[in-house]
Structure 1
Amino acid sequence: MTLIQSQTLRVRCVRMLVGLLVMAGAGTSLAQPVAGWPTKPVRFVNSFPPGGPSDILARAVGEALQKQFNQPFVVENRAGAAGNVGADLVAKSAGDGHTLLWGIDTTHTINPHIYKSMPFRDSDLKPLVILSSSGLLLGVHPDSGIRTAADFLRTARTQSLNFSSGGNGSPGHLWVNMANIGASTRLVHIPYRGNSPAVMAVVSGEVQGGTLATPGMLPHVKAGKVLALAVTSASRSRMAPEVPTVAELGLPDLQAEVFYVVMAPASTPEALMNTLAKAIIDVLKGPDLQARLQQLDMAFLGLTGRPAAALLNRLHDQYGRVIRATGMKVD
């Protein structure tokens, strides 16, 4: 079995695992709320710049929780080092439920493999909720001369193309390496400080293309400033049902998912973890937040506890094998 065949099998296994974990967690009742929380403003530390999917989701959940608990829920953006800056801040915070990390799985599943050293240990944080998952949209600037996925492959296999990402260790960074090994492309990774500036780099023609979060790309696709070639999710995006998946185009090895995660300091008591998770999940299950998830092209998961930790551990091991094989590193 080749590396790419193995990687494809692992992607399928991850999707099966997620389904099993969701079903396993569906019947688990969380503990009753802990009295006295929150006693002061709650900080949602978002490890990426404003305007990205995790930031938008954090603000929507924070607004709903603020109404429920009559305490401010403030989103604080601490971008840098592919999420390590924000994660380090939360890892060193008190485990009292008033400082939580909002981000994506890559801080915990990719960064440990591509950074020579990490400012915090995995054991300093524990997953509170894996909120949702989504795919990415492969898009190019109209002046690139690329019009179809076939054009993209033909061009990218014969010449270098600059592709933006939301930063070193981001899903777009991983995807560039997956494409280079799995489809023999010659993509050059150009990191930016978050999804929004990476999208604008495609829009302006500063780079030829990018594989980035769909909500950020789609308005520019509709405006004719970006050409959408494919989505990396297993099924078509509800936001852009006319755009084929990479699997439909004969490139199942380039399928990739992003998982949106809330983490807490490891010192947070289990009873308080349950209270926090229940509060967030209850809000996410409401019609307003379900509509927002759809707008962000996210599928609701709501994994907590051991199932959440198991998924992150599985992704950590899988991505580690891919990264070692591709030589992916911090630029």
Structure 2
Amino acid sequence: MDVRKHLLLGVAAAFVSIAPAPGAEYPARPITFVVPFAAGGPLDFLARAVAEPMSERLGQPIVIENVPGAGGSIGVGRSIRATPDGYSVSVGNWSTHVLNGAMYALHYDLLEDLTPVALLASAPQIIIGKRDLPAGDFNGLASWLRTNKANVGTAGIGSASHVGGLLFQNLTKVDFAFIPYRSAGAALQDLVAGHVDLMFDQASNSLQQIRAGTIKAYAVTSRRRLAVAPDIPTVDEAGLPGFYISVWSGLWVPKGTPPDVITKLSDAAAKAIATPALRKRLTDLGLDLPAPDQQSPAALAALQKAEIVKWWPLIRAANVKAD
């Protein structure tokens, strides 16, 4: 036997040894979480935080694959094209799995081509500014914005941070210059450095910097103040009533994934979220965790459909587009 043939047989034997046997119980090999943004942002953080206890429950490693671009639509598209066997899971949020359908000419259907698995967490946005911004409160910020064109950092076109700014712009009739980054984490770094003026950022991404005093917080986009940051006023209190944005996140798999696989993933996600250490870690960062009856595939499907009905007409009426 020549050396080349011997090597090829060796490689083939190696693949046979690691491939799951026919009919092997799921999961029989590592699972990939496809995060549609670059590493370092809030969705990437949440995916990694949840992956660890889920991996322990499932008995297999969970690998994070960051696939950024086009507001997350490239990463979601990759998940949809994956084999529907439970080994490729789409990690997404309000922008990638709701808003993108109204902002992009997608080559897939968010409801028909994906199957919901589990709701993970949600968080309001916080309107934040660089430390040396002259405005000391929201009214001062509104006045400053009327006479200055702010540079607003985002996690890219179509991201939640971008859409939050677009909706604010449309409501207040002020004009921004948006500066896209590969992730909200990268945008936040430049806000701390003073290279951009503002962000519409998820609480989980920016609370540590707010607490450290490296940036200013003007308002939280919810009806009530954050329990972990009670000094930040709501948008109602600040002077922008009704500007509510909640960025929720979840897990999906490609259409056609076996129901028993979806059940295993959903159960593992629910048990991971119930882990005391993870719950404390997430709630300390301002994340709201769903009640058990809100975590199921059916509950996530209902939420996604309701959010599409709510937001698509508003996005289109405001002429908010990704290009």
TM-score, normalization by structure 1: 0.84
| Distance change >3 Å, CA 303–CA 252, structure 1 → 2 | farther
Shift of 1:243: 0.8
The farther-off stretch of 164-173 and 87-96 is 164-173
User: Unpaired runs of 5+ in structure 1?
Assistant: 1-33
The AA in structure 1 aligned to 2:108 is F
Contact 2:203 2:287 in 1 (8 A): no
Match of 2:127 in 1: 138
User: Runs in 1 of length 4+ with deviation above 3 angstroms?
Assistant: none
In the alignment, what sits opposite 1:193? 182
Superimposed CA distance per residue, residues 277-303 of structure 1 (whole angstroms, 9 cap, x where no aligned partner): 011101111212211221332111243
Letter in 1 for 2:165: V
Partners of 2:59 and 2:313 lie apart in 1 by 46
Tell me the C-alpha RMSD between the 2 structures: 1.9
> Which residue matches 2:313?
321
Larger Rg: 2
Q: Which whole-Å CA distance do the structure 2 matches of 1:100 and 1:146 have between them?
A: 43
Q: What is residue 218 of structure 2 aligned with on the other side?
A: 229
Q: Which residue of 1 is the match for residue 108 of structure 2?
A: 120
Give CA-to-partner distance per residue, 1:222-258, whole Å, 9 cap, x none.
3332111111122212332211111122312322100
Q: CA deviation at 1:67?
A: 2.5
Instruction: Measure, in 1, the Cα distance between the counterparts of 2:204 and 2:58.
Output: 30
Supply the AA of the counterpart residue of 2:188.
V
Q: Partners of 2:277 and 2:169 in 1: how far apart?
A: 40
1:279 equivalent to 2:239? Answer no
Q: Give the alignment's TM-score, normalised by structure 2.
A: 0.86
2:258 to 269, 294, 303: 269
Counterpart in 2 of 1:68? 57
Alignment partner, residue 34 of structure 2: 45
User: Does the CA-based 8 Å contact 2:161-2:184 persist in structure 1?
Assistant: no
Q: Which amino acid letter does the alignment assign opposite residue 302 of structure 2?
A: A
SS in 2 for 1:118: coil
Query: What are the residue-to-residue correspondences of 1:283-298 with 2, within 5 Å?
Result: 283-298=272-287
Query: In the alignment, residue 133 of structure 2 is paired with which amino acid?
Result: S
- How many corresponding residue pairs? 297
The residue identity in structure 2 corresponding to 1:56 is: F
8 Å CA contact retained: 1:134, 1:233: no
**Aligned counterparts of 1:101 and 1:292: Cα–Cα separation in 2:** 23
Question: Which ranges of structure 2 fall in alignment gaps of 5 or more residues?
Answer: 1-22
The one of 130, 138, 146 equivalent to 1:157 is: 146
